Structure 1
Amino acid sequence: MIRPDTRLRVYLCREPVDMRKQIDGLALLVQEAMELNPFEEAVFVFGNHQRDKVKLLFWKRNGFVVWYKRLERERFKWPDRLEGDTVMLSGQELNWLLDGYDLSAMQPHKALDFQSVG
């Protein structure tokens, strides 16, 4: 699996985001709403209202990259104990979040083993 580098700065947008937004819309959110530079060496993390989808945006040398993950049964445990609209995480905390850990309780999602899509 492709994983973000644990040394990167990670900015988590606490407010839900419309997952129909693509690269330009997400980059504009970083610049305007989060008041950060979307071209810096960092990962910007966005989740939907139901917290079952997440998008990661980052600039890589000559273009933007978007990662998208959809959970089939569980929900991402968005940090709620912190203040502000933007939360800074470590790369390791981001990987834990993507694995389903509740960062405050350190409890992961159950592993699922499907055999078909339908």
Structure 2
Amino acid sequence: MIINLDAAKRYYIMTGRTDLLKGVDSLAALVQNDYQLNPFEKNRFLFCGSRLDRFKALYWDGQGFWLLYKRYESGRIHWPRQKESLKEIDRHQLIQLMDGFLIAPSVQSLEGSYTM
């Protein structure tokens, strides 16, 4: 079986921190109960714990769930850390995230930090 990211209808990331000790059933229940999404559709759901060098991906292939675990040997991912929510991203953003780039850079206010 080849894992094909292009077969996904949608890509979702759980922002914030998720307990990566959770398995297939717990993550599928999280998607369904907390966000009212059907984990049995051909979507990809990504979760990151407190360490930014690893994440999990959950998806249904029509016959069963896949739970993928990725740990970077060197480097880390720039996971959005705002409060926990499920955000939809596109394939390009997914690739950027996997390559270690920011997908939603924060803009900080410069108010009061300069004078004219």
Residue 2 of structure 1 deviates from its aligned partner by 5.0
- Does residue 93 of the first structure (1) align with residue 93 of the second (2)? yes
Which secondary structure state, in structure 1, belongs to the residue aligned with residue 6 of structure 2? coil
- Cα separation, 2, equivalents of 1:31 and 1:66: 16
Q: Cα deviations across residues 90-111 of structure 1 (Å, max 9, x unaligned)?
A: 1221122112121246xxxxxx
Q: 3-state SS of the aligned residue for 1:5?
A: helix
Counterpart for residue 22 of structure 2: 21
CA contact (8 A) 1:13 1:87 kept: yes
Equivalent residue, structure 2, for 1:108: none
CA distance in 1, matches of 2:98, 2:91: 11
Residue type at the aligned position of 1:58: Y
> Is 1:47 equivalent to 2:33 in the alignment?
no
How much has 1:3 moved relative to structure 2?
5.4
TM-score (norm 1): 0.75
Question: Which moved further from structure 2: 66-75 or 6-15?
Answer: 6-15
CA contact (8 A) 2:12 2:86 kept: yes
- Runs of 4 or more consecutive aligned structure 1 residues displaced over 6 Å after TM superposition: none
CA RMSD of aligned residues (A): 2.4
Residue in 2 aligned with 1:60?
A: 61
Kindly indicate whether the alpha-carbon contact (under 8 Å) linking 1:3 and 1:95 is maintained by their aligned counterparts in 2.
Answer: no
Which residues of structure 1 form unaligned runs of 5+? 106-118
- CA distance, structure 2, for counterparts of residue 13 and residue 91 of structure 1: 15
Letter in 1 for 2:72: L
Give the length in aligned residue pairs.
Answer: 104
**2:34 corresponds to:** 33
CA deviations 1:16-48 (Å, max 9, x no partner) are: 111111111111111112221101121001001
Deviations 1:35-69 (A, max 9, x none): 21101121001001122211110110110011111
Alignment partner, residue 109 of structure 2: none
